[in-house]
Structure 1
């Protein structure tokens, strides 16, 4: 592991235009990915009513999207290694925006399930393409910050989904909310025009061209040699972290809007929207500060702090029904219950070599997402008997296991140069 170089310049003055461009491309794609995916959670109560779904089915459709996103992430990881990070990023955005739009035409649960499944393919692809683009474009000493800034865009998109639903739903209903999901397609066009491929990837392709060979990244390469242990560790850590996140944040909008006697907080739509926006402000700071902390103190310390605090705060949040207390507690829950995602892109990039980096990132992150896809269904099922708030307490186990995995097995990769 190389030593970080010390500079008297503010960190942001060391960043090139190409690096900023890559960050904006990945960040905007991630924000709009978040918006399109979370629109479902914001209007889930209305969708369940119109299409006659119970909480278990509502959770299952969220699970279905996460399952397909796992497939998309693994698939697009290989596409990004073969054809380029920016091309993969652009295509993934086009896919999730188109099928979010089509969700608005759903007449049955089956229609909605099909569109949500296809939407998930693009959702999974966006993360891996953007993560590979950023981690290969930014310098090692600022890699954590960059991924923190990109990951923070998820909170922006989550809050934007709440605002879109709050404004459009009362006027055009839940279908109109989904129609708004086509907007991200415009970003894909912008990305295609001026975002460059990382230099390290270009050099690899140039070398392949000289040798007249073509890279064919295979998942099998992740399960052999020295990278096998990182594949297993990355996948298990992703399972625990994402189970906790999706089990909680898929159902928070419904929790806030569900009557107190049914295990919720009993807030009206305007209060729910406001509480979610404020909560996601906390998430934004969590994503950003995790990146800075990871670059300053190391990846391991940042991960352990966030996972442990999430394990403590999430059950407390679920047992709270007072609106004021939820308003105060929410940003802290989101800060620690979301911010750790900023570490995945950097750590996974630092564990895998260039030729299989996106494949490794895509597999680990999205294998975890695929298994964690059961979380919305599990929490929805538990909610039918004990209520949503009580069901949230179950998620502390996932956060606690994630902290143990980091403590016992994850190496410190701070400052590692990519190769």
Structure 2
């Protein structure tokens, strides 16, 4: 395995203008993706009351979005391998912003379900396009950091969703919150103007045009040389995302649900504040994971984050005191979110360039598709035992993720892509 050379320069002085541009493009798209997707969670209590949904139905609509995002991720992964990372990124942002906007016109549960389903296609596509763009543009020794910063944008988008809902919902209701979701379309236009394709992808396209070859197909992920990485990446993604989506889809509702119904009983101002503070912890988790992954390796960092998440999430679910939730929340988000920074780098380091985005898209979004059941399962369990108790069930997923890393994941720190 080719290794990178050591430099005495500060890492940020080694980064080129094109690399920064790619980082900003991917990060912006991911932050706004998070905002558009999480707007639903922020207004879920109001939507359920207005459209007469129970918690199981509310969770099922979140599940629909995650299921379609799995399809979108696989689809846009193939688009990114064939037509380019930036084109795929731009198109995915257009899709999720338009259908978030249309959610505001929903008059029935069915209409809202259709718009959330279509929104998910763009949501899934954004991650794979952005991950491929970053991992191929940035040098191997800084790849973990770059993906850490990109992934940290999710926390910014999540917190921004809480702020948007807190400001707009009292004035224009939950419909106005969804209307705000059209804003990301402007970022897609900016990306189209000046973000370059990675040189490694351009080189691959030039070489493939000289030699007539079959276009990259999804089936190549199941060839004898690749299938073990496909299976490992998909299994790890299932466990990690089941824990995340089961928890963070329902946290806003948990904070706003009355104490006598199993929640924390916070008003909208406190709920917004608690979520913003929690996502501050998540931001540090994403960034810290990236730096640790480049320093001590991918495996050790994954194990640390998964084990801590498995320990902290049940404790959070058993906590109902507002002050305790405020103090514990950032740590839960730090370890319960930060591990996502490792997926872009590790999956990129397991797959070759010609099917890299397809591999990333399949593994990450296959996991998301299976994990899509988590919000529904937690919502169903909450009807009998409460949301807090249902959160404890998610510790199993984090523990299984840690075991997968220990048993099967190779160390890929410093690997030069080819």
- Shared fold (TM-score greater than 0.5)? yes
Which residue matches 1:314?
313
How many Å apart are 1:136 and its aligned residue?
Answer: 0.2
Which residue matches 1:305?
304
How many Å apart are 1:6 and its aligned residue?
Answer: 1.3
Which residue matches 1:180?
180
Which residue matches 1:348?
347
How many Å apart are 1:215 and its aligned residue?
Answer: 5.4
Deviations 1:224-244 (A, max 9, x none): 121100000000000000000
Instruction: Confirm or deny: 8 A CA contact 2:4 2:416 kept in the other structure.
Output: no
Q: Quick one: distance in 2 between partners of 1:80 and 1:208?
A: 15
Q: Quick one: distance in 2 between partners of 1:273 and 1:74?
A: 33
Instruction: Confirm or deny: 8 A CA contact 1:82 1:215 kept in the other structure.
Output: no
How many Å apart are 1:207 and its aligned residue?
Answer: 1.1
Q: Quick one: distance in 2 between partners of 1:352 and 1:360?
A: 6
Which residue matches 1:158?
158
Instruction: Confirm or deny: 8 A CA contact 1:152 1:284 kept in the other structure.
Output: yes
Which residue matches 1:273?
272
Q: Quick one: distance in 2 between partners of 1:401 and 1:137?
A: 32
Q: Quick one: distance in 1 between partners of 2:331 and 2:406?
A: 23
Which residue matches 2:356?
357
Which residue matches 1:143?
143
How many residues are matched?
418
How many Å apart are 1:76 and its aligned residue?
Answer: 0.3
Deviations 1:19-47 (A, max 9, x none): 00000000000000000000000000000
Which residue matches 1:338?
337
Q: Using a 3 Å threshold, how does the CA distance of structure 1 residues 165 and 215 change in structure 2: closer, same or farther?
A: farther
Q: Quick one: distance in 2 between partners of 1:260 and 1:298?
A: 43
Which residue matches 2:68?
68
Which residue matches 1:226?
225
In structure 2, the residue corresponding to 1:225 is in which secondary structure?
coil
Which residue matches 2:84?
84
Which residue matches 2:40?
40
Q: Quick one: distance in 2 between partners of 1:269 and 1:9?
A: 47
Q: Quick one: distance in 1 between partners of 2:192 and 2:142?
A: 25
Q: Quick one: distance in 1 between partners of 2:258 and 2:328?
A: 19
Instruction: Confirm or deny: 8 A CA contact 1:208 1:215 kept in the other structure.
Output: no
How many Å apart are 1:206 and its aligned residue?
Answer: 0.9
Which residue matches 1:5?
5
**Structure-2-length-normalised TM-score:** 0.99
Which residue matches 1:282?
281
In structure 2, the residue corresponding to 1:226 is in which secondary structure?
coil
Instruction: Confirm or deny: 8 A CA contact 1:35 1:160 kept in the other structure.
Output: yes
How many Å apart are 1:4 and its aligned residue?
Answer: 3.2
Deviations 1:152-189 (A, max 9, x none): 00000000000000000000000000000000000000
Q: Quick one: distance in 2 between partners of 1:96 and 1:206?
A: 31
Deviations 1:352-404 (A, max 9, x none): 00000000000000000000000000000000000000000000000000000
In structure 2, the residue corresponding to 1:264 is in which secondary structure?
coil
For 1:186-225, list aligned pairs within 5 A.
186-211=186-211, 213=212, 216-225=215-224
Root-mean-square deviation (CA, aligned residues, Å) is: 0.6
How many Å apart are 1:3 and its aligned residue?
Answer: 2.9
Which residue matches 2:365?
366
Which residue matches 1:170?
170
Q: Quick one: distance in 1 between partners of 2:209 and 2:42?
A: 48
Q: Using a 3 Å threshold, how does the CA distance of structure 1 residues 215 and 180 change in structure 2: closer, same or farther?
A: farther
Instruction: Confirm or deny: 8 A CA contact 1:144 1:291 kept in the other structure.
Output: yes
Q: Quick one: distance in 1 between partners of 2:372 and 2:227?
A: 24
Q: Quick one: distance in 1 between partners of 2:412 and 2:348?
A: 10
Most deviating of 86-95 and 220-229: 220-229
Which residue matches 1:398?
397
How many Å apart are 1:214 and its aligned residue?
Answer: 5.8
Q: Quick one: distance in 1 between partners of 2:210 and 2:274?
A: 57
**Structure-1-length-normalised TM-score:** 0.99
Q: Quick one: distance in 1 between partners of 2:153 and 2:7?
A: 28
Q: Quick one: distance in 2 between partners of 1:215 and 1:26?
A: 29
How many Å apart are 1:210 and its aligned residue?
Answer: 2.1
Unpaired stretches in structure 2, ≥5 consecutive residues: none
Which residue matches 1:101?
101
Unpaired stretches in structure 1, ≥5 consecutive residues: none
